Each structure stands twice: as structure tokens, then as C-alpha cells.
Amino acid sequence: MVDLQKTLLDIAKAIVDSPEAVTVSAKEEGRSITLTLSVAPEDMGMVIGRNGKIAKAIRTVMKAASANCGKKVRVDIE
């Protein structure tokens, strides 16, 4: 089974300049999981990307990874 929290953490650490500031918290409610990604303020633009393209790509990858678990995933970026 895929560890969604670790997967999101690895993706975010590969993108930002300050990987030590990246944290991911998970909140599970029934069949859905909400993952909250927190990064340093100066790295926020790198995670969101131009017109939100990188954020959308991260969410797409996480939805594909969660298909194995049978859970619905939601990614919030702070």
C-alpha cells in the first residue's frame, strides 16, 4: 500500500529550495484523506507554479497514487 503522506512529502521536497521546512499533515475522515502541505513562504511560488500548474500536477499525481488505496485524497497547500 502506498504511503500518501510520504509520497507528497517526497514530491514537495524535490521542488523547493528549503526541503527541511516542508511538512505534511494528514486528516482521515471515513473514505477520504485531507493532506495539508506546508512549505516556507519563499517556496510557495515554486509549489504553486505559474497559473497553478504545478499544484494541479501534484494533486493529479496524488489522486493517481490514492487509487490503489480506494480512498479519495484532497491536497491543501499552505
Task: Read off the pTM.
Answer: 0.92
What's the CATH fold of domain 4-77? GMP Synthetase; Chain A, domain 3 (3.30.300)
At residue 13 the predicted structure's pLDDT band, cuts being 50, 70 and 90, is: very high
Residue 1 reports pLDDT greater than 90: no
Provide the angle, in degrees to the nearest 10, between the axes of the packed helices 4-15 and 53-66.
150
72 near 5, Cβ under 8 Å?
Answer: no
Q: In degrees rounded to 5, what are phi and psi of residue 16? A: -85, 165
At residue 8 the predicted structure's pLDDT band, cuts being 50, 70 and 90, is: very high
Kindly list the strands in the beta sheet with 23-29, ordered across the sheet, starting from the edge strand earlier in the chain: 23-29, 32-38, 72-77
